[in-house]
Amino acid sequence: MSTNNNNSILSSIGTEIIGIISPVSICMLLVVLLVYSQSSPSDQPIRTAANLIYQEAPSDSTSQKLEGSLLNAVVFIILIALVTFLLVILYYYNFTGFLKNYMRFSAFFVLGGMGGTIFISVIVRFSLPVDVFTFVVLLFNFTVVGVMSVFAEGVAIPIVLRQVYMVCLGIIVAAWFTGLPEWSTWSLLVALAVYDLVAVLAPGGPLKILVELASSRDDDLPALVYEARPTVNGNGGGGRGGFGFLVGGVSSDEVEGGIEMSSRRGDVGEGVDGTDESDDTGETSPLVRNVRDGVRSSYSGSSGMSRGNEIVENEEGTPLSAIMGMEMEPRSGDVREEEMTRGIKLGLGDFVFYSVLVGRAAMYDLMTVYACYLAIISGLGCTLILLSVFRQALPALPISIALGIMFYFLTRVLMEPFLVGTSTNLMMF
Amino acid sequence: MTVSGGIGYVLLALGPSLTIFITLISSKPFLILTLLSSTLVWLISLIVLSGLWRVFLPLKTTAWWPYVILILTSIAFQEGLRLLLWRGYKKMEDMLDAFADRAAKPRLYLTDKMQIALAGGLGHGVAHAVFFCLSLLTPSFGPATFYVDKCSYAPFFLISAIISLAFVTIHTFSMVVAFNGYAEGNKSDQLIVPAIHLVAGTLTLVNLISGGCIVGIPLLYVVALSTLAYCGKMVWRRLTETQIRLTPQNQ
């Protein structure tokens, strides 16, 4: 019986899904902890691009809130759409260098400015004994390494570090967004899910154009995406097949070892015309576009720190889609194969808004947190399964957000009275 | 200090499950997915049940019979769900085997099947603990605690954590027993699972009587431990049987 552990198919199936689910879970967990640790909801509401029009006040009537928050959401989406189109245009005309530097700048401000604010609030909350100089030096190092690892070219950065920083960026931005008032959050999430759907799937949608452009140029997607490395262990082949399997019969000839392909990546990179983007490790390039906005927001006033200021946060316009370089296509072109070696990619924006939803749920009760977490993860699972069916970039927000919001309200309205009623009587089943 | 108290309650209810998760489940992605989906199924069942009962709650009466009906319907519903889960698992198993054949890997071993059942059961158990115990724990991280009148010997959080632990055990291992019973077509295994669930559920009704928890909780633990023992015995029997059958082939 002891032999089973190694070669049973159970240990190889579903590796990719877990590779995406675990960072998302970590991100949500940390955001929830952050929300809990800042027990008193922020004294003064933050001002961001997400609530330009209407400042929600608890005293307003429901219809006022609804109307105002819808307006806010619409304005925010329009902003995001504009920025995304701008990026697409820049990318179309090959302003890659500008885009990358812009992204670096943004990452620097997200990590240093918004991240610094969050660190400070944590330090204050737990009265950690840290002096200013140490803090500044540490923060600076953290930020610089982050910028390098996210956008590095020519520097060998371990993929793990990249992944860690991606999750950090997600956490920081999401923690910032949890400062939005309740109604605005909900309508913002719904609006983003719809926008994501349109932008990725509709013909002419900016994200669709971007993805197509990138793949026609054999280039990495110029956006901040979290990349799950395909597991490079003995089971590599089985693993990816396993993913296909989860999806319902995929013919086995598509199950090919990903490993030998990785060796070809080098050449592929050189084949790319834009010289600057050919990095030897294919992974470094996929940087960036998205964050840019995040950045702009925050930086826009270096105001990362001063809450009252107007911070335009449009973060992630782009990255919302689960962009997926699906690995299983057995096409012959080199480029394809390069894609095959990539794992599943998930836009940073998805991380952020999943976490915003869970963070918002955390302000109500733990019960809603668990329900939303499960709903989002199962939505993500559905998206991944659809992905392996359709083999094209899919929006990751709509299903998850819809399920998440549905479960939040179901839990809040239906389940809570039931559970509290039974369990305070010590009745369980 | 209160934070450590809260964490203590959490670990009391979920510590054993955490151990099972880390040692057995976390290394196999498929089992994690099974766990997550079974948790989701349980959550959905809870939402459906609470939707049905929403109209009647909160119960104003002090009578005990509405609670009996509530517990009975809930258990019946969840046992029906277990049958559905088994159907789904059966399909999944066929697909897994077909896939294993194609990938030239061995088919599912008996232990694999049991692990899947264990992961499914753990999902139910964890969902139970999370929603009945953990989700009410938020106040316990604060500076005060809470006692219920009917069982004032210990804080409410401690009691609910203890009860949850028993239920996590029952849910986890009864799923293994049930799946094995369905697979073997063994009637007694199939029937004992709803029976255990029913007994455990009705035992919590004892807590309605003032001071009843002194009697109810030990009895609940008797049920939990006997489930554990029954499951252990059954797994041992299956394993030795297959070992005897396999040994000649292996040589």
pLDDT tens track for B13-33 = 899 999 999 998 888 888 898
> What interface predicted TM-score (ipTM) does this complex get?
0.87
Chain A CB contacts of B31 under 8 Å are 10
User: What is the predicted pLDDT for the residue at B222?
Assistant: 92
Mutate which: B24, B40, B70, vs A, most A CBs within 10 A: B40
Q: Which residue, among A207, A186, A210, A188, has the nearest Cα to A198 in the 3D structure?
A: A207
From CA A356, how far away is CA A8, in angstroms rounded?
38
What is the number of residues in chain A? 429
In total, the C-beta contacts within 8 angstroms joining chain A to chain B are 181
The residue of chain B nearest to residue A419, with distances taken between CA atoms, is B132
Please answer whether residues A90 and A99 qualify as being in contact, where contact means their C-beta atoms are separated by less than 8 angstroms. Answer: yes
Question: Would B250 be classed as within a structural domain?
Answer: no
What tokens does B35 get?
Answer: 């766990």
* Interface contact flag, A366 B134, Cβ < 8 Å: yes
User: What is the predicted pLDDT for the residue at B242?
Assistant: 80
Annotated catalytic residue, options A218, A279, A293, A350:
A350
- Smallest CA–CA distance, residue B190 to chain A, in Å, is 19
The domain segmentation of chain A, as residue ranges, is 10-41+59-231+342-425
Q: Is B210 an interface residue toward A (CB < 8 Å)?
A: no
Output the 3-class SS for A54-104: CCCCCCCCHHHHHHHHHHHHHHHHHHHHHHHHHHHHHHHCCCHHHHHHHHH
**Domain extent at residue B41:** 3-239
Please answer whether residues A366 and A29 qualify as being in contact, where contact means their C-beta atoms are separated by less than 8 angstroms. Answer: no
Q: Is B47 an interface residue toward A (CB < 8 Å)?
A: yes
The residue of chain A nearest to residue B131, with distances taken between CA atoms, is A367
- Smallest CA–CA distance, residue A419 to chain B, in Å, is 7
Chain B CB contacts of A381 under 8 Å are 33, 36-37
CB neighbour burial string for A328-342, b if at least 16 within 10 angstroms, e if fewer? beeeeeebbbbbbbb
Strands A394-395, A310-311: parallel, antiparallel or unpaired by DSSP?
Answer: unpaired
- Smallest CA–CA distance, residue B51 to chain A, in Å, is 6
What SS3 class is residue A321? strand
* Interface contact flag, B134 A370, Cβ < 8 Å: yes
In this predicted structure, the answer to whether residue B240 has a pLDDT above a threshold of 80 is: yes
CA distances to A119, A163, A304 from A126, in Å: 11, 27, 21
Mean pLDDT estimate for chain B: 85
Please answer whether residues A201 and A320 qualify as being in contact, where contact means their C-beta atoms are separated by less than 8 angstroms. Answer: no
From CA A398, how far away is CA A354, in angstroms rounded?
11
From CA A311, how far away is CA A293, in angstroms rounded?
11
Beta bridge partners of A369: none
Chain A CB contacts of B106 under 8 Å are 7-9
Residue A147: Cβ within 10 Å count? 21
User: What is the predicted pLDDT for the residue at A76?
Assistant: 85
Question: Would B249 be classed as within a structural domain?
Answer: no
Across the 429 residues of chain A, what is the mean pLDDT of every consecutive 10-residue run? Answer: 54 80 90 80 58 68 81 85 86 80 84 88 86 91 85 71 87 85 85 86 80 76 67 38 38 31 32 33 34 36 34 37 36 32 73 89 86 91 85 84 91 85 77
Q: What is the pLDDT of residues B102-139, one digit of tens each?
A: 877 777 788 888 888 999 999 999 998 988 888 888 77
149-208 in chain B: CB under 8 A from chain A: 150-151, 156, 159-160, 163-164, 167, 197, 200-201, 204-205, 207-208
How many domains are there within chain B?
1
Annotated catalytic residue, options A196, A219, A220, A293:
A196
Q: Maximum Cα–Cα distance for chain A, whole Å?
A: 70
* Interface contact flag, B103 A4, Cβ < 8 Å: no
- What DSSP element (H or E) covers A385? helix A366-390
Q: Which of B105, B138, B243 sits opposite A9 (nearest CB)?
A: B105
Mutate which: A20, A382, A427, vs B, most B CBs within 10 A: A427
Q: Maximum Cα–Cα distance for chain B, whole Å?
A: 69
Chain A CB contacts of B124 under 8 Å are none
- Whether A196 is catalytic is yes
Report angle CA A302, A150, A137 to the nearest 5 degrees: 55
Torsion sign, CA atoms B152, B157, B158, B164:
positive
* Interface contact flag, B50 A415, Cβ < 8 Å: yes
For A93-97, which contacts have Cβ atoms below 8 Å and span 24 or more sequence positions?
Answer: A94/A274, A96/A222, A96/A274, A96/A276, A96/A277, A97/A276
- Whether A350 is catalytic is yes
- Taking the model in full, what pTM does it have? 0.78
User: What is the predicted pLDDT for the residue at B61?
Assistant: 62
In this predicted structure, the answer to whether residue B226 has a pLDDT above a threshold of 90 is: yes
Q: Is A28 an interface residue toward B (CB < 8 Å)?
A: no
From CA B88, how far away is CA B137, in angstroms rounded?
34
User: What is the predicted pLDDT for the residue at A14?
Assistant: 77
Name residue B90's amino acid: K
Q: Which of A10, A15, A367 sits opposite B31 (nearest CB)?
A: A10
Please answer whether residues A387 and A172 qualify as being in contact, where contact means their C-beta atoms are separated by less than 8 angstroms. Answer: no
Please answer whether residues B27 and B128 qualify as being in contact, where contact means their C-beta atoms are separated by less than 8 angstroms. Answer: no
Question: Would B139 be classed as within a structural domain?
Answer: yes
Q: Which residue, among B159, B169, B170, B186, has the nearest Cα to B241 in the 3D structure?
A: B186
Question: Would B108 be classed as within a structural domain?
Answer: yes
Q: Which residues contact A165 (CB under 8 A, 6 or more apart)?
A: A111, A145, A146, A149, A150
